[in-house]
Structure 1
Amino acid sequence: MLKILGKSTSINVRKVLWTCVELGIDFEREDWGSGFKSTRDPAFLALNPNAMVPVIQDGEFVLWESNTIIRYLARAYRGEALYPAAPKSRARVDQWIDWQAAELNPAWSYAFTALVKRFATHNDAERIAGSIAGWSGNMAILDRQLDATGAYVAGESFTLADIPIGLSVNRWFATPITHPELPAVNAYYQRLSQRPGYQAHGRNGMP
C-alpha cells in the first residue's frame, strides 16, 4: 500500500492526499513535520535529504517533491483523465502546475505567513502589502483564465493542475485581506467544493 509521510495540514501533503482521492488510491499516512516527528530524524533524511514533506513510499520506490509526486501518481495509477497523454493537453496541465509553483505560490507566501500563521519573523508591513498586491495580481490572471475556460484552469475538464491551484485558492479565501471581486474564481471555488477530495483535503476545515 502507498505510504505518505507528512502531516495532513501541510498544503503540499494535501496535494498528494487529494490526488489519491481523485485516483481511488488506498494509502497509509504518517505524521511528520512541525508538531510531529521531526523531518531531521536520520530515518526521514535517508528518504528525503531536504527534510521536507511530503515523501511517498510506493513499495520500494521513494519519491519527494509534491508536484512530482502527483504527476507520478497520475501516471502510475491510470490517471490519464487528470493528466492526459497527448503532448499538447499535458503541456497545458503542466503549464498551470508550474505557474502555481513559480508565480502564485511565491506571491502569497509572505502575506499568508504573516497574517494566518502569524510568524514573528514576518512583520514587515511593506513586504506584507507587496505580497498582497502580487497575490491579487496573480489571482486576477487566474480569474481571466477561468472566465475563458468557463470551468477549470486547463480547460473544460478537471485536471491535475486544479489540485495545486485549488489549494492556493483555498488560501486566498482563508487569508484576512481585502479580496478583489473575482467572479470566475468564486465560481471555481464552489465548483471544486463539490468534489469529495476537495471537501476532505482542499478546504482545510473551512465550511
Structure 2
Amino acid sequence: MLTLWGRENSSNVKKVRWLAAELGLSYQHIPAGGQFGRNRETDYLAMNPKGLIPCLQDDDLVLWESNTIVRYLAAKYGQQSLYLADHGQRANAEKWMDWAISLAVPFGSVFIGLVRTAPEQRDVALIAKQKAECERLLAIADDALSRQPWLSGPAFGIGDIPLGCIAYGWFNMDIERPSLPHLERWYQQLTARPAFRDTVMLPLT
C-alpha cells in the first residue's frame, strides 16, 4: 500500500499525485502541511526529519524529496511507459527535473508575493526582480522545446513534471508574460492530459 502525506495544492505534492495519476496508482492520501499540520509531529518527523511535504511510504520504504519520489515511482511502476530504458535518454529527461529546482525559488517569490500577500504588503521590487529571473529561465526551456515536443524528448515523461507544476501557476497568475511560443505549446499539451487537469489545475491559493 502506498501512502502519501501532503496537501494537494503544494507544487511538490502535485508532482507525485500527477505521476500517480498518469500511472493509475492507488494510494492513501493523508493531508499534511499548511492548515492540516501533522508535519511537525513526532511521528512524522521520525519519517521525514526535514518536516516538509511530500512524504511517501511504500511498504517499509519511506522517501522524501519530491523529485526522488517521482523517479522512484516511475522506475518501479512505469517501466513500460514513463521510465526510459536508455540511460542517456533517461538522463536527458531527468536533467529537467533538477533544472526546475533553479526556477522554484524565484517563482516562489513571485507566487507568494502576488497570490498569498495582500497588495499593500507586497515587496514590489523583489517581485519584479524574481519575475525577470523566471523569464530568463523559462526562455531556456522554450529554446529546448523549439527542438523537441517535450522536455523529456519525443514523448511525455518525468522530465516534464516539475516544470509542469510551476507552469500552471505561471500561466494563471495575473501578470504580463513574454511570448514564449514553444513553452506555451508545451503547456497546452499538458492541459490536454486528464491526470494534469485532475491533480495540478487546482485553484491558486
TM-score, structure 2 normalization: 0.93
Higher relative contact order (CA 8 A, sep 6+): 2
1:110 alignment counterpart: 109
Q: Residue 175 of structure 2 aligns to which amino acid in structure 1?
A: I
2:67–2:97 CA contact under 8 A, matched in 1: yes
Report deviation, 1:144.
1.3
1:51 alignment counterpart: 51
- What is the Cα-based RMSD across aligned positions, in Å? 1.8
Report deviation, 1:147.
1.5
2:2–2:26 CA contact under 8 A, matched in 1: yes
Q: Does 1:98 align with 2:98?
A: yes
2:94–2:152 CA contact under 8 A, matched in 1: no
2:161 alignment counterpart: 163
Report deviation, 1:123.
3.0
Question: For 1:128-165, what per-residue CA distance to the aligned partner results, in whole angstroms no more than 9, with x for missing partners?
Answer: 1110100011111111111211x111211001011111
Choose 92-101 or 175-184, whichever is displaced more: 175-184
Report deviation, 1:117.
1.7
2:139 alignment counterpart: 140
Residue 156 of structure 1: SS of its match in structure 2?
coil
2:23 alignment counterpart: 23
Report deviation, 1:106.
2.0
Report deviation, 1:119.
6.9
Query: Percent of aligned pairs with the same residue?
Result: 35
2:126 alignment counterpart: 127
Choose 42-51 or 106-115, whichever is displaced more: 106-115
Count of residues in correspondence between the two structures: 204
Residue 28 of structure 2: SS of its match in structure 1?
strand
Report deviation, 1:174.
2.2
1:152–1:158 CA contact under 8 A, matched in 2: yes
Q: Does 1:84 align with 2:115?
A: no
Question: For 1:55-93, what per-residue CA distance to the aligned partner results, in whole angstroms no more than 9, with x for missing partners?
Answer: 011111111110000000011113353231211111101
- In structure 1, list runs of 5 or more residues that go unmatched: none
Q: Does 1:40 align with 2:40?
A: yes
1:172 alignment counterpart: 170
1:54–1:64 CA contact under 8 A, matched in 2: yes
- In structure 2, list runs of 5 or more residues that go unmatched: none
